[in-house]
Structure 1
């Protein structure tokens, strides 16, 4: 029940605030733009991403049943606003936790582990991206 309250708060309060900063050059947040799989409505959701070659690695902090992820899987594409640039992205592909976690910087990895995040995906981008350290 507590987890549901956090999800509700994040979806209706925190995400709206974060959309003002996400995608900027000073933010660790990106904005994933996707279309509702039933409604056809356009949505924007702030997420934390890690640039990796020609792809982005994304931690599914609430698991694979979140709407933005399911919308991307259904549509097989979307866009991502990151570091003031918009990237076309493809269908998300599952990424094993043992492969994904070591890619993140130490502090983010610690937070992801402490939060119990187990699901990760990779989305290919239309352009090569700088690799994060």
Structure 2
């Protein structure tokens, strides 16, 4: 099971899932647990604002999740509340891809927003996908 596939309570509406004042940690959020050191993860990069760690079930040779340290339920909420953190998340994703050997730093940075779009952990996160030395191939 990937970090992004950990089961979450879907009985609440999207506005309630992952709701926390001012980016405070949410009890039961697996990514808040990773950020807080309570959930083990293989960290590959971190800044004051974000943490990057390997996905447990990678979908590409390089598959890293980049999450903000503060809890925001999705990338749209993150962009509205903390655009500088989103910029750091994107920059960290690019650095992870380059450091991971992606040719010319080429990579995908994927955000799933909402349950019907495949988001299963309601803590904003980007999937950095790259294939060092090879092409990922095609558009999404």
Q: Please indicate, yes or no, whether the TM-score normalized by the shorter chain is above 0.5.
A: no
Q: Which has the higher strand share?
A: 1
Please tell me the TM-score bracket, short chain as reference: 0.3 to 0.5
The TM-score, its normalising length taken from structure 1, stands at 0.38
